[in-house]
Structure 1
Amino acid sequence: MEISDSRPSRIGLLLAFAAVYVLWGSTYLAIRLAIDSIPPFLMAGSRFVVAGAILFAYGSQRYAGRLTLVQWRNAALASVPLFVIGNGGVTWAEQSVPSGLAALVVATIPVWMLLFDWMYGGRRGPRRAELMGVGAGLAGVTVLAAPGADGGSPAGIGALVFSAVGWSCGSLVNRYADLPKSPFMISGMEMLVGGVFLLGVGLVTGEASRFDPVAVSWQSGAALVYLIAVAVVALPAYTWLMTVCSPALVGTYAFVNPVIAVLLGCAVLGEELTSQTLAAIALVVVGVALLTRPQKSVSSPGERRREVLVIEEGV
């Protein structure tokens, strides 16, 4: 799979969105299980170093282009807001914030993504449908958070908001920067660099002295393996979607992820599906529908990459 100006297949789009919607929706629970007995930054760093090495090795065999120093620089610049601030912040925050609430706070990503894209990405003003879609989606996650949830620590909530801003900035760097025309190469390069940074943060903050490999539970170990597998599948799908769809459409995964988390809680943990939860799901669906309304395409391939290449907008 390489990035091009040609129209992507409907099947490819459906599979990529399924990976971003469903797999990323399950990672909040997996992160919470993984950090039960593995320090957060060391866990996140090892996850991305392993996943990045797998993707880079796979992408190197399929990518015919030559990597430049500028592309490595851009990958490093994107890796900090994406993986160190974005994913690292979420992983750290889940020590004191419930995983479901973490998904709800991260649901502000589409708002930040649209704001930054309007300010710096060359987009024209927001369409009315986009504003209504963002409003409906945020209303949905607000209703979802309403039933007496434990809000967690203020520091954790602040870290989650900062993580959402960081992930949005990194995503837009991926969209507009000079990077390889392969989502596997982009994801592999960025995860490798970001994973090394996260391991460094873990060492600097003293996590190594608190880490006992013998004390790692099988649940944490299994969750880490699952998170690596999700990174290998979902992150290239997300990177590709960011080049062929508008940021608003790709950002709808942040609305859907909390819904997936709730449904998993009902199916796996037997949590009750309340009328408020059903209302929240309905609002999220409306928000996604408004954000995915087709927009007139532009004629220039270069403009299609910077505006909305195929349709109007996975975690």
Structure 2
Amino acid sequence: MTRTDVAATPGRVLAAFVTLYLVWGSTYLGIRIAVETLPPFLLAGARFVVAGAVILAVARHRGTPFPTRREWLGAAGVGFCLVTLSNALIVWVEQRVPSGVVALFAAGSPLLISLFTRQRTGTPLGARRLIGLALGTVGLALLGSETFAAIPDPLRLGTIALAMIAWAVGATYGRDWPQTRNLLMGSGAQMFAGGWIAIVAGVLLGEANHFDASAVSWQSLAAWGYLTVFGSMLAYTVFQWLMEHVDATAVASYTYVNPIVALALGALVADEHITPRIVLATLLLVPAVVLVVVKTRTATGEQRTETTAPQEP
């Protein structure tokens, strides 16, 4: 991992956390606004192609070599899972499902990652993670029933489940696929490759044929720009800086802060209705994710954190 030259003063660390929470927490609302007049797969694909190209250029400027052909294949596999089968599908779902609710569903991905990691490494889950999984399962069930009652569309709910599974697969098993060891270059390659796959998917789905540039609102364009510049470039740079200078457990806190920020912004800005059942689901899901992602001790006493690919919405 390439270290930056910026010293980790307490003020800078605090500013970095606030930036990460607010930006990644607000991207769900940004997606909702962008997808009002932009096609979902082309929207997501273009966002990550642009962001990935910039990150690749920055990594190359720092002296990191571009990935080999084999590493590009691995990056494309991870990008397909994280961008095309996860982010682009979330964008499609947000055409009908409230942004805060989608953020809550996405917060359940670490629960699946914990299960997949158990299968991949054979590491026991432990009592605390089992409790977290139980709480999370109940929370997701409540959220699913509430969403289906408001929007009786099983395809949307099934798509959310597919997006969660795809993210967990890419974040867990993608570690075994050929990747460049440089975090910045690797993430840029995943974004760039996954973005192009999403664009191809959008074209095959007919989005390009039905796209009317004159119908695109300035709000959607501004939201797309925000998602690209702030949601992908800035927030990921902040995430990498925090991973270099702060304990990984503290950095992982974004996984359970993001849905709270997303729910609040959805209610305040987009007038999304928060029902008692959604509140109850939140009270179950957030502690569940905390139990799953926070630091634990191994049998040898070594402290360990469940680190995964950053869950960038």
TM over 0.5: yes
Alpha-carbon shift at residue 66 of structure 1 (Å):
5.6
- Displacement of 1:17: 6.4
Distance 1:277 1:66, change over 3 A: closer
Q: Corresponding residue for 1:6?
A: none
2:264 is the counterpart of 1:232: no
Query: How many angstroms apart in 2 are the aligned matches of 1:257 and 1:73?
Result: 31
Change over 3 Å in CA distance of 1:17–1:312 after alignment to 2: farther
The corresponding residue for 1:100 is 100
Match of 1:209 in 2: 209
Q: CA deviation at 1:154?
A: 1.2
Say which SS state the counterpart of residue 156 (structure 2) adopts.
helix
- Cα distance in structure 2, aligned partners of 1:160 and 1:100: 13
Q: Is the 8 A contact 2:52 2:189 kept in 1?
A: yes
Q: In the alignment, which residue of structure 1 is the partner of 2:24?
A: 24
Give the distance between the partners of 1:285 and 1:60, measured in 2 at CA: 38
> Which residue does 2:91 correspond to in 1?
91
Q: How many Å separate the matches in 2 of 1:43 and 1:207?
A: 10
Aligned residues: 298
- 8 A contact 1:63–1:182 mirrored in 2: no
* Cα distance, 1:283 vs structure 2: 3.9
Deviations 1:121-146 (A, max 9, x none): x1411011112223334545666677
Aligned-residue Cα RMSD (Å) equals 3.6
The equivalent residue for 1:191 is: 191
From the superposition, tell whether residues 142 and 94 of structure 1 become closer, same or farther in structure 2 (CA, over 3 Å): same
Shift of 1:110: 1.7
Shift of 1:111: 2.3
CA separation of 1:286 and 1:13: change in aligned 2, threshold 3 A: farther
In structure 2, list runs of 5 or more residues that go unmatched. none
Which residues of structure 1 form unaligned runs of 5+? 4-8
User: What is the one-letter code of the residue matched to 1:184?
Assistant: L
Q: Structure 1 CA distance, aligned partners of 2:138 and 2:237?
A: 29
Alignment partner, residue 131 of structure 1: 130
Deviation, 1:63, is: 3.8
* Distance (Å, rounded) in 1 between the aligned partners of 2:243 and 2:117: 12
The secondary structure found in structure 2 opposite 1:118 is helix
TM-score by length of 2: 0.78
Instruction: Supply the distance in 2 between the matched residues of 1:236 and 1:123 (Cα, whole angstroms).
Output: 32
Cα shift at 1:152: 5.0
Given that 1:107 and 1:141 are in contact with CA atoms closer than 8 Å, whether structure 2 keeps it comes out as no
Residue correspondence of structure 1 range 292-303 to structure 2 within 5 A:
292-296=293-297
Q: Secondary structure in 1 aligned to 2:259?
A: helix
* Counterpart Cα distance in 2 of 1:146 and 1:159: 15
Q: Tell me the CA shift for residue 288 of structure 1.
A: 4.4
Contact 1:141 1:280 in 2 (8 A): yes
CA shift digits 1:222-247 (9 cap, x unpaired):
1100110211133466689999958x
* Change in CA separation of 1:96 and 1:233 when aligned onto 2, cut-off 3 Å: same
Tell me the distance in 2 between the aligned counterparts of 1:41 and 1:30. Answer: 15
SS at match of 1:77: helix
Deviates more, 1:281-290 or 1:236-245: 236-245
Measure how far apart 1:15 and its partner are: 7.2
TM-score, length of structure 1 as denominator length: 0.78
CA contact (8 A) 2:85 2:163 kept: yes
Shift of 1:115: 1.5
AA matched with 2:77: L
